[in-house]
Amino acid sequence: MLTLEDVNVYYDQVHALKSVTIEVKEGELVALLGANGAGKSTILMTISGILRPRSGHVRYEGHDLTRSSPYDIIQVGIGHCPEGRHIFGNLTVQENMLMGAVQRKDRAGVQRDMEWVYSLFPVLGERVRQSGATLSGGEQQMLAIGRALMGRPRLLLMDEPSLGLAPVIVQLIFKVIKQLHQQGVTILLVEQNARQALQVADRCYLLETGRVVMSGPVEALRTNPEIERIYLGGSAV
C-alpha cells in the first residue's frame, strides 16, 4: 500500500533520513522503533507532505506522493495523529473533530463517524463543548486520535501516542489501536514504548540516526537480543 523508496530528507544541512526504504502492506500494523532523534517522526512528516525528500519516492497505492501537498495527501486517505497531539486548544472538542473531517462533504457520514469515535472514547463524548486546552493529557491524546479518524483514513500514521501518559490511559489507547487494526485500518505506528508497540504490531522497522538498521516480523524482533538490550531494558517480552 505504502512504500518509501530510498528516501533522503534534510533539515537545512542536517541529513535526517538516509536512504530509507520502508513498506506497509494493506491491513498491516507496522511499528517504527528507535531512540529519540532517530528519524521516526521525520518519516511520518515526509509521508504527510510536510517535509519534502531531496531524493527518493513516496508511493501510495500507485500514486507518487513525493511532491504532493498535505492537502492532497489527506485526500487520498492518509491520516496523521502527530507527536505531541497538536490539538486545537482554542477550539472545542466538537470543533476539533470537525477539523479532522474538514475535507469531507458527507454530513451524515461525518455525524456517524463522530458518534463512533465517541463510542471508542466515551470521555470525549462527555466533553463535547469543552475547549481542547482544558482536557487532560490522556483526553487530548484521545481527541487527537479521534480527530485523525474523522478523516476516514485508510492509512493512519500515529506518532508516539503513549508519550507522557499514565499506564492506564496507555492501555486504553493501545486497546483502541488494536481494535482499529482488527477493523482493517492500516496503521504505521511510531513509538518509543517498544514493549507496547511489539504487542500490537505485525512488523517492525528499527531506526538509528536516520537509517533503517533492522526490520522484520515482530516475532523475530521480539526475541532479538539487540532490541532487548537497547529498548526493552533487559528482559524479553
Partner 1 sequence: MTQLQYLAQQGINAISIGSLYALMAIGLAMVFGILRLINFAHGDLIMVGSYGALLLLVLGTPFWVAALGGIVASTIAGLLMERVAYRPIRGAPDVSMLLTSFAVTILLENVAILVFSPTPRAFPTPSSLNSTFRFGQLQISRIDVVAILVAVILLVLLTLFVTRTKLGISMRAASEDLLAAHLMGINVNRVIATAFAIGSIMAGVVGLLWSARVGKVDPLMGFYPVLKAFVASVIGGLGSLAGAVLGGFLLGFLEILLQGLLPSSLAPFRDAFVFVALIILLLFRPNGIMGSAEREKI
Q: Binding residues for partner 1, per CB under 8 A?
A: 48-50, 70-71, 73-75, 80, 82, 86-91, 95, 98-100, 102-103, 147, 151
Q: How far is the CB of 120 from partner 1 (least distance, A)?
A: 19
Q: How far is the CB of 29 from partner 1 (least distance, A)?
A: 20
Give Cβ neighbours of residue 186 (< 8 Å, ≥ 6 apart). 1, 2, 24, 25, 26, 27, 28, 29, 154, 155, 156
Q: Which is nearer to partner 1, 185 or 227 (CB)?
A: 185
Q: How far is the CB of 175 from partner 1 (least distance, A)?
A: 24
Q: How far is the CB of 78 from partner 1 (least distance, A)?
A: 9
Q: Which is nearer to partner 1, 107 or 225 (CB)?
A: 107
Going by C-alpha positions, the residue among 47, 81, 82 that lies closest to residue 67 is 47
The C-alpha atoms of residue 67 and residue 151 are separated, in whole angstroms, by 21
Residue 207: phi, psi to the nearest 5?
-110, 145
Q: Which is nearer to partner 1, 15 or 104 (CB)?
A: 104
Q: Which is nearer to partner 1, 102 or 220 (CB)?
A: 102
Q: How far is the CB of 234 from partner 1 (least distance, A)?
A: 34
Q: Which is nearer to partner 1, 61 or 208 (CB)?
A: 61
Q: How far is the CB of 144 from partner 1 (least distance, A)?
A: 9
Q: Which is nearer to partner 1, 1 or 47 (CB)?
A: 47
Q: How far is the CB of 126 from partner 1 (least distance, A)?
A: 21
Q: Which is nearer to partner 1, 107 or 122 (CB)?
A: 107
